[in-house]
């Protein structure tokens, strides 16, 4: 490769590109601080289910971590469903983990519903609702549609999830193809199909990033897809952590355009052989053999003639000098590509589960490494499919096999850490949505590994067949020669032979001359592997949109204990249907695993009249012998998971040994969850839940 192929101008552009990428990466990492993944509601003022003598002036919510607010993050509705808040909630006393909204003066007595929605530090929307009463509890006509703001619009959620999945796939295609060209197949940069892969990945990542940026506002606020073009929502999104990450990704895509131009420009010159490109030029192996023969002859001549030895050494130095600029170009492009891929991966890791929770200092770099390894494997598979179509040699395929093996090893190690960090317990593996999705992803990856093993067997067969292992160049079919020119060369045997080869090539134009049976088998295997990779990307997107199992366990525990939480677990038993106006009795066996007589027995919850609005509740605890038992502490709460309502704790008044009573406000119909916490000693405690349908 001549020295001019990598001029000083290109070196300066490459150095500038590395500087920009380093600055953006530092900015992304600096913006990620420790926090608790997925904020949970810790306390409210007024308290949930409380009854106040006078109307409050404001409603204040306190979360476990900082949250972002919008103009309608907190809404307060009176018993008739009319909004009584002043709007535009803000952080209370400058604390970013709070939300406060003022209330109109002169509120009448009755039950008020507070619906809230915010964005936690890991960029995930959270929401819920609770009630309080002024004077005395009352019926409320707040409908489920009044609380729908706590949920994302179905169309917006689907489009938003699709955009995120496309972004993952585009990143894998862009980074994986570039790595495949730099590491395995430098001559591939001259191929139009490979260049199309690079451009497809770049364009898809650009479009999906813009789409996610525009849909983020409606997704957070539960509005329709028409609000995606509201520039005020886009500006609000840019002020959030995820907006900063998306803006940084767009800047990095601009820098990646420069990188792609350098990549194609320096390695994409057609017809230029390289030392490591097994498919860059027809007959490369034959010329290598001739060169070795020539070296052997030179060595023999060197023993006889010192001048010939000196000439051979000079030729070797010239060859190394000619290859040096290309090595420098590949090294510089490789470093730039690595920094670019790392910075792009930070735009996901810096605004997702890795940026909050435990061990952020370790989770962030490992999350970025996980994404880069994923891109090397999955994006390389797509390039491998194109390469097999265009006759790459076994050397290139074998090189990618080694790269893929290393990527899978990194994916396994980082994936195990992420699973431990996200789950928190073995029970979360099957008891939470995050854990179940993780099992599905593990199955998809296992299927990919199985197909990859089959691909390696095809590759071994390809290496063992010399005529198939060599690179096969597609025959360039020239346009038919005009009749007049053909007549002029009719007596030229060399030209006639050339025309015959062209006619044969045209006759075989519909055939894939690069695919021998072994290559075809390898290509089919890689294709199945790539299809499994698509499933992995889809499940990965769903995982990033789900609260980690560790957080779900904490939320569930908070709900069962009567503490405020963002959501409650849906029970695994069918909810008994209630008849409005009739008394409902629920029996919940409990066992605290203690050794005291009150450690096991049955909790009976009686609800009357078992309908929306205020309900009289009686709770009794009977031991294993059926006699009432006394316990140090008992708690009762109701939760409506479908509407993120609750838990609504019930204030219990003792009525004797093992007997309590209170009032439960159930403002909406639906499948409710009743939870009873029984503590039989200082260390022994059990939580039991059961479903009931109010409607």
Q: Span 568-694: which CATH code?
A: 2.60.40.1930
Of 202-206, 220-224, 559-563, 659-663, the range with the highest mean pLDDT is 202-206
Residue 39 or 37, more confident: 39
The sign of the torsion formed by the CA atoms of 132, 134, 138, 139 equals: negative
**Can you give the pLDDT at residue 504?**
61
User: Band of the pLDDT at 684, cuts 50, 70, 90?
Assistant: confident
Q: What are phi and psi of 323, to 5 degrees?
A: -85, -20
For the chain, what is the mean pLDDT? Answer: 74
Give which of 641, 570, 669, 652 is closest to 129, Cα–Cα: 641
Per-residue pLDDT, averaged over 631-645, amounts to 82
The total of other beta-carbon atoms located within 10 Å of residue 498's CB is 14
Q: Which fold has domain 41-151?
A: Immunoglobulin-like (2.60.40)
pLDDT of residue 577: 46
Position 575 confidence tier, pLDDT thresholds 50, 70, 90: very low
Q: 367: cis peptide before it, omega within 30°?
A: no
> Which pLDDT belongs to residue 344?
93
Question: Could you tell me the pLDDT band of residue 609, with boundaries at 50, 70 and 90?
Answer: confident
- For the residues 299-322, what does the mean pLDDT come to? 63
pLDDT band at residue 36, thresholds of 50, 70 and 90?
Answer: very low
What's the Cα-to-Cα distance from 482 to each of 477, 478, 485, 497, 502, rounded to whole Å? 15, 12, 5, 16, 14
How many Cα atoms occupy the beta-carbon half-sphere of 297 within 13 Å? Answer: 6
Position 225 pLDDT exceeds 90: no
- pTM of the predicted protein model: 0.58
Among 124, 190, 114, CA closest to 648: 114
Average pLDDT for 55-81: 85
Residue 209 to residue 244: CA distance in whole angstroms: 12
Where helices occur in 350-432 by DSSP H, the ranges are 360-389, 394-423, 427-431
Average pLDDT over residues 231-248: 85
**Higher per-residue confidence, 406 vs 418:** 406
Higher-confidence residue: 445 or 585? 585
Kind and range of the H or E run holding 463: helix 433-463
Question: 568-694: same fold as 41-151?
Answer: yes
- pLDDT given at position 317: 67
DSSP codes of every residue in 607-651: EES-SSEEEEEEEEEEETTSSB---SEEEEEEEEGGGTEEEEE--
pLDDT at 205 over 70: yes
| pLDDT at 296 (0 to 100) | 57
Average pLDDT of 487-514? Answer: 58
- What share of the chain has pLDDT > 90, as a percent? 12
Instruction: State the Cα–Cα distance between residues 430 and 179, nearest whole angstrom.
Output: 37
Q: How far apart are CA 334 and CA 338, in angstroms?
A: 6
Q: What's the CA gap between 625 and 551, in Å, rounded?
A: 38
Instruction: Specify whether the CB–CB gap between 612 and 667 falls below 8 A.
Output: yes
- Give how far Cα 360 sits from Cα of 17, 68, 372, 500, 502, Å: 28, 20, 18, 67, 63
Residue 220 pLDDT greater than 80, yes or no: no
Domain boundaries, the chain: 41-151, 568-694
Mapping DSSP to helix (H, G, I), strand (E, B) and coil, where does residue 399 land?
helix
Q: CA–CA separation, 93 vs 250, rounded Å?
A: 35
- According to DSSP, the β-strands at 125-134 and 51-52 are parallel
Contacts of 534 by beta carbon, 8 Å cutoff, 6+ apart: 169
Q: How far is CA 373 from the centre of its chain?
A: 14
pLDDT in tens, 105-128: 888 888 898 888 887 766 667 777
**Residue % of the chain over a pLDDT of 70:** 66
pLDDT for the residue numbered 6: 46
Better-scored residue on pLDDT, 659 or 357: 659
pLDDT the model gives residue 328: 75
Would you say residue 103 has pLDDT above 80? Answer: yes
In 107-146, beta strands by DSSP E: 110-120, 125-134
CA distance 37 to 65: 8
């Amino acid at each position: 490769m001549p020295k001019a192929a990598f001029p000083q101008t290109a070196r300066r552009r490459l150095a500038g590109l590395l500087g920009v990428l380093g600055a953006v990466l530092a900015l992304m990492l600096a913006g990620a601080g420790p926090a608790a993944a997925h904020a949970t509601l810790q306390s409210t003022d007024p308290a949930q289910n409380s009854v106040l003598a006078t109307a409050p002036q404001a409603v204040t919510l306190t979360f476990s971590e900082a949250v972002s607010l919008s103009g309608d993050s907190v809404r307060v509705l009176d018993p008739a469903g009319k909004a009584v808040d002043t709007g535009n909630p803000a952080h209370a006393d400058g604390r970013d983990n709070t939300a406060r909204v003022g209330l109109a003066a002169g509120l009448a007595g009755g039950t008020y519903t507070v619906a809230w929605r915010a964005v936690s530090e890991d960029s995930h929307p959270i929401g819920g609702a609770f009630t309080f009463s002024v004077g005395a509890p009352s019926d409320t006509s707040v409908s489920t549609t009044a609380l729908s703001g706590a949920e994302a619009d179905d169309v917006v959620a689907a489009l938003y999830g699709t955009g995120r999945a496309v972004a993952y796939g585009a990143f894998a295609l862009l980074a994986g193809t570039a790595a495949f060209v730099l590491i395995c197949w430098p001559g591939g940069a001259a191929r139009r199909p490979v260049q199309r892969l690079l451009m497809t990945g770049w364009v898809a990542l650009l479009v999906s990033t813009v789409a996610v940026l525009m849909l983020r506002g409606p997704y957070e606020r539960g509005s329709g897809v028409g609000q995606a073009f509201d520039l005020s929502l886009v500006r609000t999104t840019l002020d959030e952590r995820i907006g900063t990450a998306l803006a940084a990704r767009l800047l990095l895509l601009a820098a990646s355009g420069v990188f792609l131009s350098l990549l194609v420009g320096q390695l994409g010159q057609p017809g230029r052989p390289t030392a490591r490109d097994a498919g860059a030029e027809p007959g490369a192996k034959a010329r290598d053999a001739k060169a070795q023969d020539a070296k052997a002859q030179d060595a023999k001549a060197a023993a006889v003639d010192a001048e010939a030895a000196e000439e051979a050494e000079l030729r070797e130095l010239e060859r190394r000098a000619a290859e040096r600029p290309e090595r420098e170009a590949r090294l510089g492009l490789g470093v730039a590509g690595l920094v670019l891929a790392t910075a792009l991966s930070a735009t996901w890791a810096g605004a997702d589960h890795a940026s909050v929770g435990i061990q952020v200092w370790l989770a962030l770099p490992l999350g970025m490494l996980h994404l880069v390894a994923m891109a090397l494997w999955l994006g390389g598979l797509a390039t491998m499919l194109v390469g097999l179509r265009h006759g790459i040699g076994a050397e290139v395929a074998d090189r990618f096999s080694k790269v893929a093996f290393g990527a899978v090893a990194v994916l396994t190690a980082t994936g195990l850490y992420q699973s431990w960090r996200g789950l928190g317990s073995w029970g979360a593996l099957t008891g939470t949505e995050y854990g179940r999705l993780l099992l599905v992803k593990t199955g998809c990856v296992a299927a990919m590994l199985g197909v990859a093993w089959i691909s390696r067997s095809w590759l071994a067969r390809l290496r063992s067949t010399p005529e198939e292992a060599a690179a096969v160049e597609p025959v360039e079919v020239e346009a038919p020669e005009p009749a007049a020119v053909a007549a002029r060369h009719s007596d030229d045997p060399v030209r006639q032979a050339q025309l015959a080869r062209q006619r044969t090539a045209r006759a075989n134009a519909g055939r894939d001359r690069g695919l021998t049976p072994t290559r075809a088998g390898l290509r089919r295997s890689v294709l199945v592997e790539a299809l499994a990779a698509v499933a992995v990307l889809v499940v990965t997107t769903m995982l990033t949109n789900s609260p980690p199992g560790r957080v779900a366990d904490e939320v569930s525990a908070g709900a069962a204990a009567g503490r405020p939480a963002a959501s409650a677990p849906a029970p695994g038993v069918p909810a008994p249907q209630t008849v409005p106006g009739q008394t409902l009795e629920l029996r919940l066996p409990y066992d605290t695993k203690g050794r005291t007589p009150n450690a096991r027995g049955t909790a009976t919850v009686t609800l009357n009249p078992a309908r929306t609005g205020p309900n009289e509740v009686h709770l009794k605890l009977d031991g294993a012998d059926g006699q009432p038992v006394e316990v140090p502490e008992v708690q009762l709460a109701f939760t409506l998971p479908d509407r993120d309502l609750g838990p609504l704790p019930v204030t219990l008044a003792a009525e004797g040994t093992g007997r309590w009573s209170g009032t439960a406000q159930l403002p909406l119909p639906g499948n409710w969850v009743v939870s009873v916490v029984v503590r039989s000693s200082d260390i022994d405690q059990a939580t039991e839940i059961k479903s009931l349908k109010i409607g």
